[in-house]
Amino acid sequence: MSAMVLVENKAVERLHELGLSVDIVERVVRRADAEASTFTALDPPIMEGLTRWGRTSRFLREELVPRGWTYDNPRNWARTIHPSGEFAIVAATGDELTGMAGPGVLPTTKYRKGDATIKAVAANEQLAFDFGDLDLFRPAAERTPGVLLTWVLLFYSDDHEFRVELSLPDGIEDGRISSWAERIILPPFQRDELVTDDDNDDADHVVVEIFRR
């Protein structure tokens, strides 16, 4: 089944319905990138990707928990849960098609996911089947206790930009999410070439150039 793909104004409106905004997501991914970019070739190769995922999860919570969201970590699976209890968001690295729209464009998660993700996608798929694609937000009281929808904050970065989408998975193949009921595509965030200390008015003004590996 083809995903419902939302872009531009429709994407912004849909994010607001879910209690999010473009500004919130941009702050999250930029902060996570700033920490992930501190690693060099001398660090274990896994550290950059692991830190980007972990900090994305943490910074998303820092934005949303003060707004009434909650969180849990079942089997080390970092969920951020909407105040209604009807859905949660998890972060994941996507492939190069993340954040892109067009005929035949279908992003997947970059890495194989574990049992918790597989079960969450199966729950999404079952809820969509039971209630219909246009009624995915049936009140939690009308659903199986403890079952909630799981959205994925899918992110991809390169030397020039960040691409991000908030998408609702409904299919997984060979451990990678490969099918989506809905994709909310954010505008690409351009990568800043320079980070400056604007608060320093001294003669020795600091300009730090950041070069990605």
Evaluate if residue 182 carries a pLDDT over 50.
yes
SS3 42: coil
| Average pLDDT over every residue of 155-181 | 94
Pairing of strands 4-6, 70-72: unpaired
Domain around 162: 4-209
46 pLDDT higher than 70 = yes
Coil, strand, or helix at residue 183?
strand
Q: What are the tokens at 129?
A: 């089947």
Average pLDDT over the chain reads 85
Which residues contact residue 94 at a Cβ distance below 8 angstroms, ignoring those fewer than 6 apart? 107, 108, 109, 110, 154, 155, 156, 163, 165
How many domains are contained in the chain? 1
Residue 178 confidence (pLDDT): 87
Could you report the per-residue pLDDT of 47-92, keeping only the tens digit for each? 999 999 999 999 999 999 999 999 999 988 999 999 999 999 999 9
Mean pLDDT value of segment 27-45: 95
Q: Is the pLDDT of residue 165 over 90?
A: yes
Task: Note the pLDDT of residue 30.
Answer: 96
Give yes or no for residue 38 having a pLDDT over 90: yes
